[in-house]
Amino acid sequence: MLARGPTTMTKDATIRASSVDNLFVCPPSILSTTHNRITSQNTPAMIGKVVHECAAAYVESKKFDADAMCSVYGLVGEDVDTVRKLAFCAAGIWDRDISKYFTRPQVESSIKSSTPITVNGVQYYLSGTIDVASGVGATEAIFLDWKSGFVDDGYANQMLTYAYLLWDFMGRPQTISITGIVVFLRHRYFDVVKYDARTLEAWEYDLAHNVLENPDKFSPGPRCNYCEIRSSCEARREVVAGSIDDILSGNTDGWYQGGMDTLKDLTDVNKYNDGVGDILSDMMFRISVCDSAIKSAKEMIKATLKRVGPIPCGAKSQMDLKETEVKSLVAEKAIPVLRDSMSDSDIAAASRISLTKVMQTVSGRAPRGKKGEVRDGLVEKLDEAGAIRRSVQHRIVEVSNEEEEADTTTSEKES
């Protein structure tokens, strides 16, 4: 049951804006207090953190030191190059397109709702840290959220949470104008979204009645692979166990054999039949969950062997880690030595030059505003010399029909 304002409660909880999109997909992944949570900082998350700090420094002072910030967090090599590239992208977009709309920008603003949403005796507060925010009046505000990852969807509810928090801070007036900007740094574009009181009230109702009233409603899906409770989640365990059982049992009605039969009989005509897409999506989800479970098991075995040493496996064998030395050449030191016994063409044939690394180096040395021009010029010269070898790789992705239509439109315009 939904109620607002002070009520008798059994407990309260604070939900972070960054977790609200996961909350809408699978409430227990965020609300559960009984599951073990795995919260580890991975490299992409660390890169995102440093990029956000660089962007905040630039908005405040028009400067940042990406290398110094990377050293604080232990980032080295290509990760530093990535931070530089994304931070400079943020600075460019801020100067060129966005800063003029922020009259008094405040960075890293922490905000928490003053009035709880009370559901079933639990008082829920929302909170978040807004990357950049600026009030432009008693009923107007604008905010920005930097995104440093590869995915450019799945953030709608996070942005709604920020707008909701600003609306709550204003005192929940019925006439408001709140603008949200989400910047996708890796893709070099941004989206602008407008919010009004009616939209935010409807979202609050949806959050309370369709999400918070169902705190135990599990919804296994692609996000399981990154969920904090994945190691102890019963729903994920059932999906993995059931998926593997179907493969081993040869059940003709199961996801594996049924899906394989569907793919075998698929043509460019019947692929549009109802249910075909659902079967394919379900297969990919189960494959990804099983892959993740197998990877986690391997990592656990490796970590255990590192910790306790060889483990007996019966009377005649034991399991242990086999150490293999991996050798690689340091190019600037190796080339002078290799020239004593190899020609330049032989050295080139034995070498591999990363085009991505070359582009990053060239961009880093180019003057601001000329990076794209310098990169394009170098690619053109390399093409003329026949120095770029092109190949095609395929990976399975699932994109929205809207995105595919947008890509088609763009291609037609470019042609």
Residues 375, 359 contacting (CB under 8 angstroms): yes
Residues 107, 132 contacting (CB under 8 angstroms): yes
Residue 95 has pLDDT above 90, yes or no: yes
pLDDT band per the 50, 70, 90 thresholds, residue 169? very high
Residues 388, 355 contacting (CB under 8 angstroms): yes
Residue 4 has pLDDT above 70, yes or no: no
Residues 252, 258 contacting (CB under 8 angstroms): yes
How many CB atoms lie under 10 A from the CB of residue 69?
A: 19
Give dist(CA 89, CA 372) in Å, integer: 12
Whether the model pTM is above 0.85: no
Q: Model confidence over 330-361: pLDDT tens digits?
A: 888 888 899 999 998 898 888 888 888 888 78
Residue 100 has pLDDT above 60, yes or no: yes
Q: What is the DSSP letter of 186?
A: T
- Please state, in angstroms and as integers, the Cα–Cα distance from residue 91 to each residue in 65, 147, 183, following that order: 12, 13, 11
Q: Model confidence over 196-230: pLDDT tens digits?
A: 999 999 999 999 999 999 888 888 877 777 788 87
Q: What is the DSSP letter of 224?
A: G
Q: Concatenated DSSP letters for 97-165?
A: IIGGG-SS-EEEEEEE-SS-EEETTEEEEEEEEEEEEEEEETTEEEEEEEE-SS---S-HHHHHHHHHH
Residues 222, 179 contacting (CB under 8 angstroms): no
- Which residue in this structure is represented by tokens 């530089």? 84
Mean pLDDT over 184-191 rounds to: 92
Give dist(CA 26, CA 235) in Å, integer: 11
